[in-house]
Amino acid sequence: MRRSMHHAAGRADHRATTRRATRWRVRASLGLAAASLAVVALTTNGSWAFWTDSSTVTGGALTAGTMDLQLQTTNPNGAVGLATAYSASDIAVSGLTPSEARAFPVTVKDVGNADFTYAATVTQGTSPSWGYAAGDITVRFYAGTPDTSDTTYPIQQTCGGTALTAAVAVGTSGTTVIPSRRLAAGASESLCVVVTMATTASNADQGQSGSLRFDFTATQVTS
């Protein structure tokens, strides 16, 4: 009986021990699972906070674009480079009388790799100084080419194409003769300028002289 009771007590102890071990394993498993979930969760939300990487990227050479407005009349191509003057000595007239006009070609070139817009003004030149009465010499640009077929008095040459402005009197301050125009990179545009003496020119203009100055400004197109 005692032996029997002893055995019964031993089996009960064994079962209790087994249950504790099982509970510990379950708890450990749950803890491990929770820890794993936490790692996964943190990895999903903020790997940037824990995982880092770096890479140095070496690019190629950065080469600046170029821009250059160049001009050409019947004189050789010029105004090469930025802010370079151009001598259009061929835009000249002698023996001009009232109502007469002369036409000259002017080619504008976009020698660069960006489109630009350009415009121009006219002013009295300084060499020779201006001797004409105010308003007696006018200038008008056309998008076109000159018609110089008229060579007999009164010589009234014209330009084909579209006038860019009305005839503009040459004054002491710059007056627009070419409103802003766009020119594509690598392109050129044929213009024509007519220099005219007004029919009403003063008698005092006889034997006078002057020179014309055109200021071209080009600005890169950024959009």
Tell me which residues in 150-209 interact with other proteins (CB under 8 A).
153-155, 195, 197, 199-203, 205-209
> Given phi > 0 = left and psi -120 to 50 = alpha, else beta, which region is 26?
alpha
Closest distance of CB 141 from other proteins, Å: 12
- Min dist CB 67 to other proteins, Å, is 4
Dist. CA 68–CA 75, nearest whole Å: 18
With CB under 8 A, what is the number of residues at the site for other proteins?
Answer: 67
- Return the residues of window 1-20 that contact other proteins according to CB under 8 A: none
Q: How many residues does the chain have?
A: 223
Distance CA(13)–CA(20), nearest Å, equals 11
Smallest CA-to-CA distance from 122 within 216, 217, 213, 210 is with 213
Transcribe 118-148 into DSSP letters. Answer: EEEEEEE-SSSPP-SPTTSEEEEEEES-EE-
CB 119 within 8 A of CB 217: yes
Question: Can you tell me the distance from the alpha carbon of 167 to that of 190, in angstroms, rounded to the nearest whole number?
Answer: 18
Of the two residues 8 and 64, which places its CB atom closer to other proteins in the complex?
A: 64
142's tokens: 């056309």
Residue with tokens 């824990």: 50
Least distance (Å) between residue 155 CB and other proteins: 7
Q: Which two tokens stand for residue 219?
A: 């600005």
Q: Residue 29: CA atoms inside 13 Å, Cβ hemisphere, count?
A: 6
Residues from 54 through 113 that contact other proteins (CB under 8 A): 65, 67-69, 71, 79, 82-100, 112
Instruction: Identify residues 108-147 at the interface with other proteins (CB under 8 A).
Output: 112, 114, 116, 120, 125, 127-128, 132, 137
Whole-number minimum distance, CB 154 to other proteins, in Å? 7
Closer by beta carbon to other proteins, 159 or else 212? 212
Task: Please identify, using beta-carbon distances, which residue of 5 and 64 lies nearer to other proteins.
Answer: 64
* 36 makes contact with other proteins (CB under 8 A): no
Min separation Cβ 102 and other proteins, Å: 9
Q: What residues line the site for other proteins (CB under 8 A)? A: 45-46, 48-49, 65, 67-69, 71, 79, 82-100, 112, 114, 116, 120, 125, 127-128, 132, 137, 153-155, 195, 197, 199-203, 205-223
